[in-house]
Structure 1
Amino acid sequence: MTPVTGRATRRSWFVWLTAAAVYLFAVFHRTSFGVAGLEAAERFGVGSAALGIFTVLQIGVYAAMQIPTGVMVDRFGPRRVLTVALVFLGLGQILLAVAHSYPLGLLARGVLGFGDALTFVSVLRLIAAHFPGRQYAVVTSFTAAIGYVGNLAATVPLSLVLRGEGWTPTFLAVGVITAFYAVVVITRVKDHPDGVTRPVAASVGLRELGRQVASVWRVPGTRLGFWVHFTTMSAPNVLALLWAVPFLVQDQGRSAASASALLIVFVFGSMIGGPLIGSLISGRPSSRMPLVGGYLAGAAVIWTLLLSWNGQIPLGFLVPAFALLSLGGPASMIGFALARDYNPLVRVGTATGVVNVGGFVATTIAALAVGLLLEWTGGNFRLSLLALVVVLLTGSFRTLVWWRRTRAQLFAAEARGEDLPVRIRRRRWDVPAPEIQTAVA
């Protein structure tokens, strides 16, 4: 349970905004290869598969660090972790600015991935500590919207600066600015509001850490959050991070400037959709999973049309298609709301880290698969992008499984007279009452 009751203070909003700016930096650095991919291929002299490794490495590091990040946030507090994140983000971008060899470029993206991995879980932990539960989903959606401002800056603006100033000055400048922002965070961010006792996670060894993660993973709501995140954010992530621009330029015959401009659809779709979805689920928590199901069904239809279209896909379809797919980012935030609702505050950081692994594991798998398939098929994007459809269908099935089991847990808790994070009505497809304990075991 969050220690904040009533309404958040002005100080809490200031702390959140300062921390959310770190997430803006992280998303900017993460998505910068979306428009710099073709320049990177020329600078490092690599093909599609090797280019895909940049994103796979960065996102792989990010995914691998999510559970350790959650534990560190619970143990040391988000302010310290965010400060370290900024140092690594700045260092990674500075390394990329001066890199001319492929191995050094990979190292730079790996360092960026490490810094990026420390940001979002830390910001969500601050929200859980500074805001009442009913505001959690809304403030989380605002955080995601601020992150998409960083994504927006990494589209046409970054593309123009890269062409005007060049690779080294551009990435060197943003790296230095990012590192200096650490001073603002260490002096302005507070882990908990004044007068609130801080719940501290005990120091743990590797064995106890394993038990803690296993305990969080056994919660059906955590696993549901994992698969929601896995399924909803993978496609928009893979497209915005790496493959949308090459697809639009090499397969669709559009100019690099036009392709970069189309990435803005992902940004604005997410910026507008995030607060809308956050406000809706904040007032009606029972709408969370129907929204996820609606998005997944819509995404399946969009991919069917995109990959079966003969000839160049018209802008009249591409724009709304990208807009719908972009809502996967805001929909993935539902996974974090599930982690918060079904876990005690002292383990929310760990649970959030577990959920956050989902989408980035899916992104890593899909980005690598697309790159490999492009090499094997001689650049056939229609066949290669089927990897995203496979991830979508796999994740959708697992989401359905754990949605049903989480509902069973809620009905069992209701029967015991416990407080519930959300109230739902039993449906014909729910687990029968005598089987509930088996389903949630």
Structure 2
Amino acid sequence: MTADVARRDSIATRDTVVLVMALAGIYMVSQFLRNSVGVIAPNLATELNLSASEVGLLSSVFFFSFAAAQIPLGVALDRYGPRRCMLVCAGIAIVGTLMFAAVASPFWLTVARVLMGLGSSCYLMAPLALYAKRFPPDRFATLVGVQLGLGTVGTLLATAPFAFAVALIGWRMSFVVIAGMVVAAAILVSVVVKDDKDGTPRARETLRDSLKGTLAAIRVPSFWPVFAVQLASYSSFVVVVGLWGGPYLTHIYGYSLTERGNMLFVAVLAQIVGSMLWGPSDRLFNSYKIPILIGLLLTAATLGLAAIVGIFSPIALFLWFVAIGLFPAVLSVVIANGKSLFPPVLVGRGMTLMNMGTMGGVFVSQSVTGAVIDLFPITTEGYALNAYRAVFGFQAVFILLTLLIFLWARDPRRSPPSWG
């Protein structure tokens, strides 16, 4: 009997590992697409004669379409299941990626980025919906940390490896290769991820019922304070690594394509490590709020330091990029805090609403900071140092303002909800 139990446990462990690896694999591609402008931003600005605002829009429109998809995605996850949502989104992502590789005008590149955002919109929420249903609640933050950590390998590929590929075959052909990776990841998901077969038919909600469910999720206590902190958490990493970090290294430090790719690689590697470290911290502190406050205050301090200092020594610059990856990785706890607010019936659309804040915050940060940079005159080297200082200062203040709102949130680790 003991041997049978051990064998079942071994099979369950193996199945869990395979499931997590498949879900993390397709999330890697999503992460690459969302951060792929960072390394090639100077190339795009030169080749297409784009202003800073236009570069910011080209990057941020991905996050706008991603965020806009979250409400219908929440309904679709509850109605059709994660597997179908992921496969449909894969098709849209493939079209967008191939379009980005083929078109030449800024307008059609922007349309392609919109399609990439729509196609990538479910590759965090669908896995989290699966984890929420299939694993104990006290393991959810750890699984989020693993998902984010492994998935962030995609962001890693968008740094030094992407810079190498761009130098070797060009950025357009590199996106063709990425489209092939989306196809491979979708095939893996179709094989590994199975629909739940618990004998319960999926709800066929009317539009009115769907809207009622969304409104019910918004009315959950502490929704808005946690939503506020979602706006600043991930955007503080992406505004640097996904957009302005590359131009900052080129214009202020004279870094080449390969050199800026290597430095961004450092930040993403730190985020992967940070996701694994922050993931179980809610259990260590028996609190969501404490690690979130620590992580985001350190993030604001890191950005504020760059706003004040402007130019770092080589060692300090290296450590700054480590910090900009490590501290915002507390996002795994922010996500777990958001999920913990909702009863099981609202988890799908509740988490997608929270993710709307996460990705919408990136859209706001990247769009606004592009406009901020355009307020400063362009030097012979590129964007002015004071423009970058203003960008870092803006993001630091953005974090602090959202944390002030977050202070009013209830901590479900300390005060469990009435339905729990």
In 2: Cα distance, 1:108 partner to 1:44 partner: 15
Tell me, yes or no, if structure 1 residue 129 matches structure 2 residue 133. yes
1:260-339 equivalent positions in 2, closer than 5 A:
260-281=261-282, 283-284=283-284, 286-309=286-309, 312-339=311-338
CA offsets, 1:160-197, max 9 Å, x none? 111111133211121133124322222321133xxx62
* Residue 390 of structure 1, CA deviation: 3.0
**Could you say which residue in structure 1 is the equivalent of 2:400?**
393
Partner of 1:103: 107
CA spacing shift, 1:409–1:50, aligned 2, 3 Å:
same
**Partner Cα distance (1:179, 1:250) in 2:** 36
CA displacement at 1:285 relative to structure 2: 6.0
Separation in structure 2 between the aligned mates of residue 152 and residue 262 of structure 1, nearest angstrom: 11
Structure 1 residues 255 and 220 mapped into 2: Cα distance closer, same or farther (>3 Å)? Answer: same
> Which position in structure 2 is the counterpart of 1:434?
none
Percent identical among aligned pairs is 24
Alignment-mate amino acid for residue 232 of structure 1: S
User: Is structure 2 residue 74 aligned with structure 1 residue 70?
Assistant: yes
Partner of 1:377: 376
Contact 1:92–1:108 at 8 Å: present in 2 too? yes
Write the deviation string for residues 188-227 of structure 1: whole angstroms up to 9, x where unpaired. 21133xxx62666522333322221111111124434323
Scaled by the length of structure 2, the TM-score of the pair is: 0.89
1:15-414 paired onto structure 2 within 5 Å? 15-192=19-196, 197=198, 202-281=203-282, 283-284=283-284, 286-309=286-309, 312-378=311-377, 379=383, 380-401=387-408, 403=409, 406-407=410-411
Q: 1:9: Cα distance to partner? A: 4.2
Question: Aligned partners of 2:411, 2:281: CA distance in 1, in Å?
Answer: 20
Query: 1:83 offset after TM fit, Å?
Result: 0.8
How many aligned residue pairs are there?
403
SS in 2 for 1:119: coil
CA distance in 2 between counterparts of 1:255 and 1:181 reads 32
- Contact map agreement 1:225 1:334 (CA 8 A) in 2: no
- TM superposition score normalised by structure 1: 0.85
Consecutive unaligned residues in structure 1, runs of 5 or more: 1-5, 421-441
Alpha-carbon distance in 2 for matches of 1:293, 1:260: 30
Deviations 1:16-59 (A, max 9, x none): 22122110111011111111112222332312111111112111
Q: CA contact under 8 A between 1:226 and 1:335: conserved in structure 2?
A: no
Aligned 8 A contact 1:228 1:332 in 2: no
Q: What stretches of structure 2 of length at least 5 have no aligned partner?
A: 1-8, 378-382
Structure 1 residues 395 and 52, CA, compared in 2 at 3 Å: closer, same or farther? same
Q: 1:304 to 1:167 in 2, by over 3 A?
A: closer
Deviations 1:240-280 (A, max 9, x none): 11111111211333333322211112211111111121133
Deviation at 1:60, TM superposition (A): 0.5
Provide closer, same or farther for how the CA distance between residues 243 and 64 of structure 1 changes in structure 2, counting only shifts above 3 A: same
Does the 8 Å contact 1:220/1:409 carry over to 2? no
Which whole-Å deviations, capped at 9, do the CAs of 1:122-153 have from their partners, x for residues lacking one? Answer: 01111122322222111111110111111111
Contact 1:227 1:395 in 2 (8 A): yes
